[in-house]
Amino acid sequence: MGTCDGITSVFRVQADSCGRLWVLDSGQIHITIEPKQVCHPQILIFDLKTDRLLTRYVLPGEFVKEDGLFSNILVDIRGDDCVNVHAYLTDVWRFNLVVFSLEKMRSWLVSDHLFYPDPLAAAYKLHHLEFNWMDGLFGLSLSPYSKYLPDRILYFHPMSSFRGVLCTNVSQSRGPSGHVSSSWMDRNGIMFFNLVTRDSIGCWDTRKPYKRENLGVVAKSRKTLVFPNDVKVDQEPRQSIWIISNWLPYYLHEGLSENKINFRIMRAYTDEAIKNTICDPLVRKHDSYIPHSDETDCY
C-alpha cells in the first residue's frame, strides 16, 4: 500500500472561506462490495478559482487501521487566518479521529470510547428496508468562531447512535431511529443535522440544552428526503442549508430504480428553515442556556 497519484473514493468535501476545496480521499476501492485499501488516505486541497492542486497530505501509515474507512472532513478556520488551519477526519469503521495541521503539515490520532457505535442503535429501518450498520464516529460540526472566545467546541455524532456528543458530554437520546451521519452549524449557533431514517432534517439551537424537546424538524418528506445523506451550511451573507439525498441503503441492498429520482440537491435559507420551530430564537417554549465565561466549554 503506497500513495495514490489520483483519487480513489471520496465521501465528503468542504469549501473553506479562503477559496479552497478540501477533499478527503479514503484510499479505498470497491467499498460497497468488498472494500480494499489500495493506498493511504490523503487530503487534497484545490484552488477553487484555478482548480490547481495546492496541497497533498498523505496520512501516516500507523493511522490507517485494517477495516477502517475515512469518511468525513471538517475544516476549522479562525477569522481571516488561512495558514493556521486544522482539519478533523473521521474513521467511521475504526472509530478514530485524526487532526491535521495545515501550518505544521502534521497530524495526530485521537481515540475515545465516545467515538464507538451503540449496538442498540445498529438496527435501521428505512420504509420497508431493514438492515444493520455498526458505523461509529461520522457527523462533525463546530461552534461559531468568535475572537472573544479562546476556542471552538467540536460536536460529533457516531452514526449508529441516537445521541450527540458535546465535547465529552453525552447528550439526551434523540429517540428511536435518531441516526445522524452529518451535521453543520450556522454562524448563529443553530445546528442542522440529517435524520437519515426519518426522511427529515433536524435542528438545535445550541444556546439551549440538548434535550429532545429542544430539537426541531425543519423539513420532512417521504419523497424528496429519502436518506438525506449530507448537510452543509454555506458562508454567504444570508446563509443557506444544502442537502443531498441519495437512497444509499436501497442502492446497497436492492439497487436503484431507473423510474425514480434517486438523487436530489436541495437548498433553503437557514432563517426561513427554522422559522416557528423550537430552533427559532423568537420561540421561547423552553428556557435557553447561555454559558458564562466561568463555566466549562463543554455543555
- pLDDT one-digit tens code per residue, 7-51: 888 989 999 999 999 999 999 998 888 889 999 999 999 999 999
The whole-model pTM stands at: 0.89
CB 181 within 8 A of CB 159: yes
Which strands sit side by side in the sheet containing 200-205, from one edge to the other?
A: 183-185, 190-195, 200-205, 215-220
Q: Is the dihedral of CA 172, 214, 12, 123 positive or negative?
A: positive
Report how far residue 57's alpha carbon sits from residue 62's, in angstroms, rounded to the nearest whole number: 15
Pick the range with the lowest mean pLDDT from 32-36, 67-71, 124-128, 278-282.
Answer: 32-36
Q: What is the torsional sign of CA 78, 80, 83, 87?
A: positive
Q: Are 23 and 100 in contact (CB under 8 A)?
A: no
Q: Using one digit for the tens of pLDDT, what is the confidence trace for 209-254?
A: 888 899 999 999 999 999 999 999 999 999 999 999 999 999 999 9
Domains contained in the chain, CATH given:
1-111 (2.40.10.480), 112-299 (2.120.10.30)
Instruction: Report the 10 Å Cβ neighbour count for 68.
Output: 20
Residue 178: closest CA among 203, 199, 161: 161
